[in-house]
Amino acid sequence: MALDMKGKGKELKERVVAFRRQFHQHPELSREEVETAETIRQFLQEEGIPFEDGFATHGVLGIINGGKPGKTVALRADMDALPIEEKNDRPYVSRVKGKMHACGHDAHTAMLMGTAALLNRNKEEIAGKVLLVFQPAEELGPVGGASVMMEDGLFKKHEPDVIFAQHMWPDLQVGEVGVMAGPVMGNSDQFTLTIKGAGGHASMPHQGKDAIVIAAQVINHLQTIVSRNVDPLESAVVTFGTIQGGDRYNVIPSSVTIEGTVRTNRDDVKEKVKNRLQKSIDGFAMANEVEIELNYSDGYPATMNSPEWEETVRSAVHSLLGEHATPHVNPSLGGEDFGRFLQRYPGFYIWLGTAIPERSIQKPLHDAEFDVNEESLVIGTELLAQLACDALKRLAVEN
């Protein structure tokens, strides 16, 4: 019989909330997670949980060895913040100018620490091993931290049979969890276009090749890649995030640089969009007699939840929160580095409801006013622990 974690996280609530607020007040960007990693190491030492570190520079791996032999389950949390100036009015707002936990990674890390304490207190009843993966640089696409951690030997000594992770989700209420098999998050690619025209005086445009005018045409046309090349029942997005060119109102610039992203949830759709992007750029370059350079970076792969683990995950949620805790949800095209773990190991990624009741409109992830409902922290702590226990039980039965 698997351990029942319902209600066992309540005694850890104050500690988990305190850790979350500590991380929130002292955010560290990708590859800068020095103090965050040190706090995790100190915590693991205090709990008597063995650990290894140095993966992708600041990554930490905690290891809980159960009192009985069995398989291995991994639980992952990301640690890094974003370069955003926080605009919330809370006593625990970021104390670091221009840096903020605007994606809930502070909560992810704190909940995994709570889960570690919960499992460690019950380790004699656990049949198997639980790996606690504290990942840096999740926001640093397209490289990220997951693949670097694995290249650094994260699972060389301890390889998981299955891996789980969760993400704060403001579109769901506290007590609700997003559970779906297949693609839950999308392919997240980046591209840069550099249009190399010819500069000149604003009053004599015929003497140059106006990169700004060409850029405007390119931006408008590339929006038709999705609307006229991708099946309407499939998901794809082409979005432009930056455009830079020109220094003065009466000077035609010689070049314009545009940055954007392509989001899809199927590889074949991704390749179609990618190919159409290149062909369209080539056509514009020829028509305007300019050079247009496309630098396309394949980013995070789609986060593909293993269908064979859906029922186990849904059952764990229901055991803690009831039969109505898993409402229907649609996939997101947000990128997630956890997809790289799922390319190598079976696993599942869930969304944890964290809507704030007093807000009529929930602030989305990566917004300067994003915050989490701290009532969700105990739920997430217990849920990760329950998933680990239920998965180990299932793996023991299957083997």
pLDDT in tens, 131-189: 999 999 999 988 999 999 999 999 999 999 999 999 999 999 999 999 999 999 999 99
Does position 196 have pLDDT exceeding 70, yes or no? yes
Beta bridge partners of 178: 351
Q: Which of 28, 138, 176, 374 is catalytic?
A: 374
Nearest CA-CA partner of 363 in 139, 174, 102: 102
- Percent of the chain scored above 70 by pLDDT? 100
Q: Which of 28, 176, 300, 382 is catalytic?
A: 300
- pLDDT tens for residues 309-354? 999 999 999 999 999 999 999 999 999 999 999 999 999 999 999 9
Q: pLDDT at position 39, please?
A: 98
> Considering the chain, what is the average pLDDT of its residues?
96
Does position 17 have pLDDT exceeding 90, yes or no? yes
pLDDT-derived band at 385 (thresholds 50, 70, 90) equals very high
Q: pLDDT at position 1, please?
A: 62
Please report, in angstroms and rounded to a whole number, the separation of the first and last CA atoms in the chain. 16
Question: Active site includes 92?
Answer: no
Whether this prediction's pTM lies above 0.85 is answered by yes
Does position 398 have pLDDT exceeding 90, yes or no? no
Q: pLDDT at position 148, please?
A: 98
Q: pLDDT at position 360, please?
A: 86
Question: Active site includes 374?
Answer: yes
